[in-house]
Amino acid sequence: MLMTTKPMFDLAYAGSFGVGAFNVNNMEITQGIIEACAAEKSPCILQISKGARKYANIRFLRKIIEACVEEYPGVPIAIHCDHGDTLDLIQNCIDDGYTSVMIDGSHHPYEENVKLSKQAVDLAHAAGVVVEAELGMLGGIEEDVVGLNAEEYAKNIEKFLTDPVQAQDFAHRTGIDSLAVAIGTSHGAYKFKHEAVLAFDRIEKIMKTCPGLPLVMHGSSSVPKEFIDLVNKYGGNMPNAMGVPEAQIAKAVREYGVCKVNIDTDLRLALTAKIREVFATKPAEFDPRNYLGPARTAIVEMVKRKLHMLNSAGKADAVIAEWKRQGEPMPGYYKTAAAV
């Protein structure tokens, strides 16, 4: 069932769970995510980045997601724009049927970020689409998102974390529906040189200045060691890759107001590790089904584990009931499409 993130986040904030926001780039990744969510009866957010739009063509991705909605009507699904950086892109995403968008002005000066985010909210809310914005800065690199140098970030992390008082002003002036916060996470597979420690004290302060505002964690892949080991075993070169410990992510969603957790790198690792394994152990294999199939299965199992970490397994029916209770209308694109 397609919806915005509002019913999901309303329940998540009060119910001590988080919704996994998984980046999709092709059919196998999308199928793996939705199969896991259906099996575990979990809501999910399918994220499409600017890079994914360019790689796969949004028309193809949208139809794949529409197939997911038809095949698994009991799974609450939101289609989300990950790291939208311009109003033109936000408008394109709204026109393409997204139910949620992120405007990322975190690299701009504060007042410019406020202005851009407010303009995105005005555009999206008019179409029944919800908006996430970002305040503070993360480290690392992922696609078009270039964060701070890892060493610089580690040395000056307090300087780049989301300011709780500024967050209150930002939320009030922009009217956003959720806020991506910088609390010590980082983009990519090489997030840290040592085990990460999230700034839970900072989350507590933001929750006090912004009561009820759903918080979002970017850069939250845990970079599972079993996938790194497989990549390296079969010809890869990924030394010292390290992510956010799953125990800390679980704490953020179960004890704090984190309602959305972004996961992209772990999907790429699962896919790549299994493909490498097939190529190395079966060098005569040339049927894509015989290497993409195991890769898709690896994604299913990895996502299932994430859903239990997020405590969202078993929450699908409650989210659908909340969606019906709120009487949330279908986003504009789908109302129009249904009428044709």
CA angle at 199 for the pair 194 and 202, rounded to the nearest 5°: 165
Q: Catalytic residue among 82, 104, 163, 177, which?
A: 82
**302 in Cβ contact with 267 (< 8 Å):** yes
Range with top average pLDDT, 188-197, 217-226, 276-285: 276-285
What would the pLDDT profile of 165-220 be if each residue is shown by its tens digit? 999 999 999 999 999 998 886 544 444 455 667 889 999 999 999 999 999 998 87
Task: Give the global pTM.
Answer: 0.90
| Nearest to 62, CA basis, from 87, 80, 42, 39 | 80
Question: pLDDT band at 152, cuts 50/70/90?
Answer: low
Of 6-15, 84-93, 145-154, 194-203, which range is least confident? 145-154
Of 156-160, 162-166, 208-212, which range is least confident? 156-160
- Nearest-angstrom CA–CA distance, 168 and 178: 12
- Nearest-angstrom CA–CA distance, 314 and 260: 16
pLDDT of residue 148: 47
pLDDT of residue 241: 72
What integer best gives the mean pLDDT of the chain?
Answer: 89
| Nearest to 44, CA basis, from 316, 329, 338 | 316
Domains in the chain with CATH codes: 6-331 (3.20.20.70)
**113 in Cβ contact with 317 (< 8 Å):** no
What would the pLDDT profile of 69-126 be if each residue is shown by its tens digit? 999 999 999 999 999 999 999 999 999 999 999 999 998 999 999 999 999 999 999 9
Question: Hey, what are 28's tokens?
Answer: 């196998």
pLDDT of residue 306: 96
DSSP bridge pairs for 78: 45
CA dihedral (303, 304, 307, 313) in degrees, to 10, reads: 150
Is 85 one of the catalytic residues? no
